[in-house]
Structure 1
Amino acid sequence: MENYVFAQYNIELLTTEKAQQRGTRQLEAAAEMIQRLPTPDVLLVNEMDDNFVQGWEKVHNATAFLENYLREPQAATLKGVDFEAWIAPRCNTGIPSGMDIGKDGIGVEPGTDAYARDCFSYAPYAGRYAMTLYSRFPIDIASVRTFQRFLWADLPNHRIPTNPDRDLYLTADECERFRLPAKTVVDVPIKLPDGKIHAVIAHPSPPLADDMDTLNAPRCHDEIRFLGDYVAGADYPYDDDGLEGGLSTDERFVILGDLNTEPGDTVTDDAVTRYLLDNSQVIATTPSSPGGSEHGAPYATSNLSRGPTRADYVLPSTDFTIHSSGIGWPAKDENHRAVAEQASDHFLVWVAVSE
């Protein structure tokens, strides 16, 4: 019986400048943590800039990170990690909406806050905060489904803020054009030796933003609800090619992503519990770490300014059996504790499964 390792890693601000050259200490540290943990068969990396959208036509950051860091052993006792395939889906970050989402006049100059606020998802330029999915097995590219352009208003019982007394809201016209995913939602079929698996990937909006009453909290809630509905086979999702419907109930999947919220979070109305952890199609995995345990938060996947938080998830369908899992936050007396904290403000999360 085959065992597979699925992993999720938000590598903070993995920019083109960092990826395209060797010797970036942060990325060496990130690659080292990937090499120290069970070798992932499928790995989602968040916050990797999509430099092809930015006009860089030579080597994609996904290939550069693989060649410059992942394949290179980062310590004498470690081995490089390789992947057969990758996919870097287009995201909504930094894509101009053509609307005054920030309610301060339409920003037209990339790199400015006014520009970022009026994009479909906040970013100073297109391709920022994007993501790449790596796989040791072939990706069925022809069957990939993307939901980048799914309209927020087309989510049944959505929570779009429309009250003009808020800091930010959408007008009736904006509701007809504004997209739901902050980055995108993608269903990536992967050809494992014992059959197909759907890697369903996402990176919803951070619910809190600048202490303002923004779109983020209801949007994060609704993005997570979309994920739960999709893997449960809902009828309403339509992809960017117009194909309708969610996954069939007999299809295996793993949800991977920095979902930007933790169980019990009141800001998002506990969306991750209601729509994913309590979803009858999902195994509610609970990876833990020594480092998080030392902070009284064994399931924390990030150590942000507000403290340890569970934000990152690897959630297989109930077709699988969980063998082991973990979070790459070492104990303070381990030599690579500093490596993990230098790599990112998040830690790698992995889950090993078999059918």
Structure 2
Amino acid sequence: MRIATYDPGLTRKGPGLLLRDIRKDDPQVIAAAQVIAAARPDVILLTGFDWDLRSIALSEFRALVAQQGHDLPFWHASRPNRGLPTGLDLDGDGRLAEADDAQGWGQFTGQNGMAILSRLPISAVSDYSDALWRDLPDHIMPPTLPEVASIQRLPSTNHWDVTLTTTRGPMHLLAWSATPPVFDGPEDRNGRRNHDETAFWLHHVPDAPFALIGKMNLDPADGDGRPEVLTRLNALVQDPEPRGDWQPPQNGVNAGHRGDPALDTAVFDAAGPGNMRVDYVLPGHELKIIDSGVLWPSPDHPLAGAVEIASNHRLVWVDVVPYPSNEAMAPQARSRSSAVTQ
């Protein structure tokens, strides 16, 4: 079973604009579909995908992926916290109804949301997106006004437990897309929220095979986040450390990074943090890891142009089978993974 996560950059500055671009065959949209089809996931979490009430954009994008040769007929999407109005002045600037005043930063409801596309049926979804930050055990929420604490949700986008139906029983994907741990002040509000969005899963692990999956926006070695939460996850999950086939020259700010560049999953402005590892698939211990990778081909690879055009993020994939492993599945999984890099 191939599990993948990917921020395809399919978010726009206004409602309906993504659907417009899908329908006019925008090159960036087509490139994102090509990347997903090339990876051939059994299930993929899309972060950075605009939500609409009837999921029309998602339906039409799924059709584009199918046109590229990979059908993912099952899907889930629900309203994200991004752009969801609170009616309060969360950033204290004296103005209401701004992007900073939403439950998660967003210029409109649904901007930069999430979606699941799957080859396997989805049997259940537990949606924790309305969980209050103050209710998380041992949270590190900064001091805030009571009226803010009473409504401030923890997930900046969504937190989902998505149950897939497999031939070996239920498989859970614990999916989320955290706020970047930057763009705040000395109170480190975003850094604290980023930490707690990941820490949430320490208290919500199912008694079944699972994988943590999503855009954690947290590099274990570089950047401004609080990587200690990753240490707390170590008892629950395995890190396959997916690696790309190619990395850009490690100059400029990247030259000062401590982390292994082969693990990076996103290209950020050289004037900012540089390239980092921010997208993860972390299987639980009930799953045997067969293979893994970051879809980052060399510049002369036929897929390189689509990867570059689609997004500044790279698709991350991990092949797993549940224990006890069926050895008959392992060669098939290996042959499917090799198709990505050949």
Is the shorter-chain TM-score for this pair beyond 0.5, marking a shared fold?
yes
Q: Work out the CA distance in 2 between the residues paired with 1:179 and 1:12.
A: 24
The structure 1 residue matched to 2:65, chosen from 60, 70, 73, is 70
Please state if 1:13 is matched with 2:21.
Answer: no
Q: Is the 8 A contact 1:300 1:311 kept in 2?
A: yes
The CA deviation at 1:97 is: 1.1
Q: Work out the CA distance in 1 between the residues paired with 2:196 and 2:184.
A: 20
The CA deviation at 1:150 is: 0.7
TM-score, with structure 1 as normaliser: 0.81
The structure 1 residue matched to 2:30, chosen from 28, 31, 52, is 28
The structure 1 residue matched to 2:163, chosen from 189, 195, 216, is 189
Please state if 1:87 is matched with 2:76.
Answer: yes
State the one-letter code of the partner of 1:51. Answer: D
The structure 2 residue matched to 1:328, chosen from 282, 289, 295, is 295
Please state if 1:347 is matched with 2:324.
Answer: no
Q: Work out the CA distance in 1 between the residues paired with 2:186 and 2:61.
A: 35
List per-residue Cα deviations over 1:193-245 (Å, max 9, x = no partner): 211101110001111116775521000001111123322xxxxxxxxxxxxxx
Q: Is the 8 A contact 1:261 1:272 kept in 2?
A: no
Q: Is the 8 A contact 1:288 1:327 kept in 2?
A: yes
- Structure with the larger helix share: 2
Give the alignment's Cα RMSD to 1 decimal: 1.9
The CA deviation at 1:293 is: 7.2
The structure 1 residue matched to 2:57, chosen from 61, 85, 88, is 61
Please state if 1:107 is matched with 2:96.
Answer: yes
**Are residues 272 and 343 of structure 1, via their aligned partners in 2, closer, same or farther at CA, if it must alter by over 3 Å?**
farther
Number of the residue aligned with 1:166: none
Q: Is the 8 A contact 2:18 2:57 kept in 1?
A: no
Aligned residues: 305
TM-score, with structure 2 as normaliser: 0.84
**Are residues 100 and 309 of structure 1, via their aligned partners in 2, closer, same or farther at CA, if it must alter by over 3 Å?**
same
**Are residues 212 and 121 of structure 1, via their aligned partners in 2, closer, same or farther at CA, if it must alter by over 3 Å?**
farther
Q: Is the 8 A contact 1:199 1:255 kept in 2?
A: yes
Q: Is the 8 A contact 1:229 1:275 kept in 2?
A: no
Q: Work out the CA distance in 2 between the residues paired with 1:330 and 1:40.
A: 17
The CA deviation at 1:21 is: 0.6
Unaligned runs of 5+ in 1: 74-79, 109-114, 163-169, 232-246
The structure 2 residue matched to 1:270, chosen from 227, 233, 238, is 227
Number of the residue aligned with 1:180: 154
**Are residues 149 and 30 of structure 1, via their aligned partners in 2, closer, same or farther at CA, if it must alter by over 3 Å?**
same
State the one-letter code of the partner of 1:47. Answer: G
List per-residue Cα deviations over 1:239-291 (Å, max 9, x = no partner): xxxxxxxx23xx11111101101113573321452233x1x221112000122
% identical aligned pairs: 30
Q: Is the 8 A contact 2:114 2:158 kept in 1?
A: no
Please state if 1:258 is matched with 2:239.
Answer: no
Please state if 1:292 is matched with 2:259.
Answer: no
Q: Is the 8 A contact 2:11 2:111 kept in 1?
A: no
The CA deviation at 1:35 is: 2.1
Q: Work out the CA distance in 2 between the residues paired with 1:22 and 1:323.
A: 39
Unaligned runs of 5+ in 2: 251-259, 323-342
